[in-house]
Amino acid sequence: MASPAVDLHLHSTASDGRLGPAALVRHAAACGVRHLALTDHDTVAGVAAASDAARECGLGFVPGVELSAAWRGRAIHILGLAVDPQAPALGAAVERLASLREERADRIADRLDAAGAPGQAARRAIEAEGALPTRTHFARALVELGAARDLAEAFDRFLRQGRPGYVPTAWPEAEDVTGWIIAAGGVAVIAHPLRYTLSAGARRELGHAFRAAGGMGIEIATGGASAAQVAEATSLAVRTGLDGSVGSDFHDPAFAWNQPGRLAKLPASIRPVWNHPAFPRDFGATA
Ligand code: AMP
Ligand code: MN
Ligand code: MN
Ligand code: MN
């Protein structure tokens, strides 16, 4: 565990994080983070409040987003870092992704009901929260409604692929998503590359295709990654010519193993994505 200074993958209540954007920034600061990005799923609704809080705390901040995409029919996540949240290309993307998420949430609710779980009740509770709905919201609601003991069980019984509440979704193609991020002035980064069920060969093909589409980086240090996983992601970055990013994927202060800044250091052989000119010049510099 080293360098808690940079964390470029964090969620707020604008998507499935537990802390509001300003509280998230203060929590990250208390955890030792000095430079961060807010990266909610398919929304930049929290960026303005996070940016204000970061300024108050004296932290380096870039707007970000974690966009849902499809590659070879699989859902993958692409981070847009240092994007312009006002850019029309990004506005159109998040609008489209938001309607996909709202439609999907309706179908998840129906399917859960059909499976004897309280789907519509969960949907109503989620709607009352006002966030852009994710499966995490359903998992939490199912726990609250007594249909599962914890998040892991809710995913395992109802929400993961192959379970009754899983709804395959036609996310936009990774190549298009990458283009939208670039059009919004941002740096596109493959999130948690080892989490997808792909062979090592397919993972490299993903990296090459992403690079060819203008993608710049790949997450190397992610929350809870082992040394072996960091090494594997490092070799993937080297072989595909991608720069490296670091991000905890923090959602919840109750999960001690997944706190902001709890990350391995980027290996010295890897160029940090935050050296890209889209980032402020002093971003990531040690104080
Ligand atoms: P969605 O993008 O709506 O499909 O939801 C994906 C989110 O669900 C991820 O970003 C994680 O936060 C969460 N998630 C996925 N699988 C699990 C799991 N097994 N346990 C807890 N959270 C999960
Ligand atoms: Mn999430
Ligand atoms: Mn993700
Ligand atoms: Mn995430």
Query: How many whole angstroms from 135 Cα to the centroid of ligand 1?
Result: 6
CA dihedral (235, 280, 36, 127) in degrees, to 10, reads -110
Topology given in CATH for the domain delimited by 6-93+175-275: TIM Barrel (3.20.20)
Q: Which ligand is nearest to the CA of 42?
A: 1
Ligand 3 center from residue 218 Cα (angstroms): 12
Residue in the block written with tokens 């009901």: 113
Ligand 1 shell residues, CB under 6 Å: 16, 41, 68, 134-136, 151-152, 155, 251
Residues across the chain: 287
> What is residue 285's predicted lDDT score, i.e. its pLDDT?
84
Nearest-angstrom CA–CA distance, 163 and 219: 28
Residues of the chain with pLDDT under 70: 1-4, 287
pLDDT value, residue 2? 45
Percent of the chain predicted with pLDDT > 90? 97
Cα distance between residue 150 and residue 76, in whole Å: 24
Residue 270: closest CA among 287, 250, 284, 249: 284
DSSP 43-78: --TTHHHHHHHHHHHT-EEEEEEEEEEEETTEEEEE
**What pLDDT does residue 123 have?**
98
- Kindly report, residue by residue over 144-183, the tens digit of the pLDDT: 999 999 999 999 999 999 999 999 999 999 999 999 999 9
Predicted confidence (pLDDT) per residue in 124-147, tens digit: 999 999 999 999 999 999 999 999
Sign of the dihedral defined by the CA atoms of residues 56, 185, 99, 174, in that order: negative
Q: Tell me the pTM.
A: 0.97
pLDDT of residue 4: 55
What single letter denotes the amino acid at residue 144?
E
Of 10, 15, 66, 136, the one to substitute when testing ligand 1's pocket (max ligand atoms within 8 A of C-beta) is 136
Q: Where are the domains of the chain?
A: 6-93+175-275
Strand partners, 4: none
Q: Whose CA is nearest to atom 14 of ligand 1?
A: 136
